Structure 1
Amino acid sequence: MPNYRVQFAKQILGVPFPVGSVEIARARDPERALRAAEIRFARSRGVTDWRERADTADLAPHGEAEL
């Protein structure tokens, strides 16, 4: 199973500023990895929805999955 990194950013005047990232060690597919990262990011920030702290979530392969 591939590894993923999800980068969360807040847009200010159209410019994305990174506010955090989450690594997902194993996921069946990219959609599940993204959903898991959104939940983990929200919980780590003490909010119910990740969109309260970020505007975008970008998924990318990470680690061994890049090879």
Structure 2
Amino acid sequence: MSHYRVLFAKQILGVPFTIGAVEITRARDSERALRAATLRFARQHGVEDWRERADRADVTETEPAAA
């Protein structure tokens, strides 16, 4: 299982402004991490669909945090 960070951004005049980030600690692949992050982001912001708050979501694989 891999660790992922998904950054959500709103584009204004072509410039992306980061609105929030979601850490996914265990996912099989980036697609599953994106799906989990979009659901969590929508829940955190109290909206039905994450696209109500952000225009784009970028997934990056990260290293697990040292314990």
Q: Same fold (TM over 0.5)?
A: yes
Identity %: 69
- Aligned residue for 1:48, secondary structure, equals coil
For each residue in 1:30-53, what CA deviation from the matched residue of structure 2 results, as whole angstroms up to 9, or x when unmatched?
110000000000000000000000
- Aligned residue for 1:35, secondary structure, equals helix
Question: CA RMSD, aligned part only?
Answer: 0.6
Question: Which structure: greater strand fraction?
Answer: 2
1:57 Cα offset (Å):
0.1
Q: CA–CA distance in 1 between the matches of 2:54 and 2:18?
A: 9
Q: CA–CA distance in 2 between the matches of 1:40 and 1:21?
A: 10
* Counterpart residue type for residue 58 of structure 2: D
| TM-score of the superposed pair, with normalisation by structure 1 | 0.93
Q: CA–CA distance in 2 between the matches of 1:53 and 1:19?
A: 8
Say how many residue pairs are matched. 64
- Aligned residue for 1:23, secondary structure, equals strand
Give structure 1 stretches of 5+ with no counterpart.
none
- Aligned residue for 2:27, secondary structure, equals coil
1:29 Cα offset (Å):
1.1
Question: Which structure: greater helix fraction?
Answer: 1
